Structure 1
Amino acid sequence: MGKTLAEKILSLKSGSDASAGDIVVSKVDLAFVQDTTGPLTVREFWDNGFTKLANPSRTALFLDHAAPSPQRQLSTDHILLRKFARDTGALIFDVGEGVCHQLVAEKLARPGDVIVGADSHTVTAGGLGAFSTGMGSSDIAVAFALGKTWFRVPETIKVVVSGRFKHGIYAKDLILYLIGLIGADGATYKALEFSGNVVNNMTIAERLTIANMAVEAGAKVGLFPSDRQTLEYLRSVGREADYQPLAADEDAVYERVIEIDATALEPMVAKPHTVDNTATARELKGTKLDQVFIGTCTGGRLDDLAVAAAIFKNRRHHPQTRLIVTPASQKVYLEAIRLGYIEILVQAGANVMPPGCGACLGVHQGVLGDGEVCLSTANRNFKGRMGNPEGFIYLASAATAAASAIKGEISDPREVM
């Protein structure tokens, strides 16, 4: 019997013939934390009597969620993580380098890896063909020390995407449509495996966007094959040697197959306060916005800034709508400067923040006021997500966000493109 991508990777890393439902102990190729989950992980590591990392060069700490730190306590947490890295030899990515998930993709993730992180959006690296998933801080402490962890091998839902993206339609629209279709618990502890001619032609940036939000449907992982697109991406970041082809077997058994015609998609928006509460941008036209946020590990890549800059060229944001832009990494930021995107966005009136999570978490750099409405390219719109339970968050693509910032209300980007 053939294997799905999840079964194939976990078989290799556990040294067993793993099938859906099996319990396996798997090697961990990369384990990481960020600055909100890291301090607890470090304390659990020490409290359990651990002193050495199983693999220091594949253990990473990221200072990205509160970066630069807005509070004394968070600054002290940063000190703790920096010291832990010095003492153990772990990798550390400091303030301003970018969001952990983007940096993992750029610098660390490899096809076929098992990656665990103390952050639910660790699933992002599935866009590179890695079995990558979030865990609690205590589990990550054990993975730090032992270099392995256990999994129940997930059943897999295959998502076949055919047709093509029409003008103004992007990967973010596809994943919002899928989450709206199956619900926030529609793939709980399942693997979402993406295939079809649209997927075959997707850039890695598009795949990362989709994999990033697999967890918003409850999925354990969101997996893409490792193919020519993967090779081209790894070559572009100087890591061609990390490439290996990886695909599900043709006779793999799936719990369910979902077919989506990309040609029929429209610009999608998730309404407050759940990601599966979706509608088309056209249906929400006229919803007034106090703030638009373009950035994060979901919508702050170079492709997103390029789309936004193209829309904003020779235009400004609406005077009653604030515009915040946060590149996902320093590499993205520098390339966006070189290509002129940042200049266009600043001329459009954007406040450009340093690479990192920015306003997404609600710690700083864009906290909403009572009753304010924000359209964001992030991955979550839960009540209180951007720092205020009295705020209202809508989610959309960078194109929809840019068009909406110009008009001051949710808008279909095709009207201005």
Structure 2
Amino acid sequence: MGMTMTQKILAAHAGLDHVEAGQLIEAQLDLVLGNDITSPVAIHEMDKMTVDTVFDKDKIALVMDHFIPNKDIKSAEHCKCVREFACRHDITNYFDVGQMGIEHALLPEKGLTVAGDVIIGADSHTCTYGALGAFSTGVGSTDMAAGMATGKAWFKVPSAIKFNIVGKPKKWVSGKDVILHIIGMIGVDGALYKSMEFVGEGIKNLSMDDRFTIANMAIEAGGKNGIFPVDDLAIEYMKEHSKRPYTAYEADEDAVYEAEYTIDLSTLEPTVAFPHLPENTKTISEIGEPVVVDQSVIGSCTNGRIDDLRVAARILKGRKVKKGLRCIVIPATQAIYLQAMEEGLLKIFIEAGAVVSTPTCGPCLGGYMGILAAGERCISTTNRNFVGRMGHVESEVYLASPAVAAASAVTGYICAPEELGL
């Protein structure tokens, strides 16, 4: 019986010739990730262990991104805890104000994630790095502590679902629409503890930013991880950003999948997830009465990359944000912020009446930089729209692509760019 991409990576890191779904293994780790919310818990757990230091100071990444720059005393104390730990253990990849970015955009940009890696992170969207052909998954802070101390983690080998991607997307359809369509189709538990493996000739029509977005939201379908094959585009990205060697794994022809789906990109429309679950999706054409919004957020680990900002700027150029609506644009990293500035995108946003924030997760988790009051609605390029996710429990979050979020910021209600004549 053959193995999937994920199973081959896990077998190699467990020192085994073969693994099967459901098997318990101990695997060597290539990277352990934490942020300013989850790392302090892991650090306190590690303090209880009889270890003097971390397993490898080069294979730990600590990214201050959720409440940075610090929004209050508690967040400042969290960051101080992590900063002191990073200094004490001489952690190579510690990213604070001035160098930090949203973790899941920052680490690939810094070349810390490559194909064939096994990566754990104390953040559920660690599955993002599957876009490069890595096995990456979110864990709890206790597992992060064990990983920092030993360089190993226990896994139950996941079974897999195959998504055969065909066709070419229409204008204004992006990776966000693809993954929202999939989640709407299989549900938020449709891939529970399974590997979501994306294959097919249509992948060549998805940019790396599209793939990062799709892999990022695998967890929203319950997936253990999402993973893409290592093609020329992925190799080009890794060569540009990383000096680390990589290993490309391919699924065996007789690999076992629990289910298979075909996704024809040419049939997809801009898609929106209505409150309060990512599976509650409607295409733009299925929305009846206009859904008026109070805020538009364009950013996050899902959609704060340069392609996302370019799309938003294309729509906002020469237009104005609807009076009474707040539009918040958040470049995902300092490098993306700088590139957007050099390309004139920030000028477009500001002239349109939007604000541009320092890189932060802020509004996505109801942290800061865009909290909602009771009764308010937000169209957002983030990844979750649970009750109270972005503020008051009586607020509402609608998930969409940067194109839809930008167009909606102009009209004041959820719409596609076509309504603006684009």
- Written as runs of structure 1 = structure 2, the 5 A alignment for 1:29-68 is 29-68=30-69
What is the CA-CA distance between 1:241 and the residue it aligns to? 4.6
Shift, 1:106, TM fit: 1.2
Normalising by structure 2, what TM-score? 0.96
CA drift at 1:281 = 2.0
Measure, in 2, the Cα distance between the counterparts of 1:167 and 1:280: 15
The number of equivalent residue pairs is 416
Aligned residue identity for 1:410: I
In structure 1, runs of 5+ residues without a counterpart are none
5 Å matches for 1:6-405?
6-16=6-16, 17-90=18-91, 91-96=93-98, 97-107=100-110, 108-237=112-241, 239=242, 241-284=244-287, 286-405=290-409
Q: For 2:319 and 2:217, how far apart are their aligned partners in 1?
A: 30
1:46 Cα offset (Å): 0.3
Q: How far apart, in 2, do the equivalents of 1:273 and 1:95 lie?
A: 33
Give the superposition deviation at 1:117.
0.4
Q: Aligned equivalents of 1:201 and 1:409: distance in 2?
A: 30
Which has the higher mean CA deviation after the structures are superposed, 133-142 or 224-233?
224-233
Provide the C-alpha distance between the structure 2 equivalents of 1:347 and 1:310, rounded to a whole number of angstroms: 13
Return the TM-score normalized by structure 1.
0.98
Give secondary structure in 1 for the equivalent of 2:58: helix
Kindly state the Cα deviation for residue 398 of structure 1 after the two structures are TM-superposed. Answer: 0.3
**Per-residue CA shift, 1:348-370, capped at 9, x if unaligned?**
11110001213112111000011
Q: Secondary structure at the match of 1:211?
A: helix
State the secondary structure of the residue aligned to 2:336: helix
Q: Distance in 1 between matches of 2:65 and 2:57?
A: 20
Shift of 1:160: 0.6
The amino acid of 1:267's aligned partner reads P
Looking at structure 2, the residues matched to 394 and 166 of structure 1 have their Cα atoms a distance apart, in angstroms, of: 22
* Contact in 2 for aligned 1:234/1:242 (Cα 8 Å): no
- Aligned residues of 1:167 and 1:414 also touching (Cα < 8 A): no
Identity over the aligned pairs, expressed in percent? Answer: 46
Q: Is the 8 A contact 2:318 2:352 kept in 1?
A: yes
- Structure 1 contact 282–412 (Cα < 8 Å) conserved: no
Distance 1:106 1:243 in 2: 15
Give the drift of 1:225. Answer: 1.0
CA displacement, residues 156-211 of structure 1 (integer Å, 9 cap, x when unaligned): 00001111101111110010000000000000000000011121332211110000
**Cα RMSD over matched residues?**
1.2
Q: Displacement of 1:43 after TM fit?
A: 0.1
- Quick check: 1:215–1:221 contact (8 Å CA) kept in 2? yes
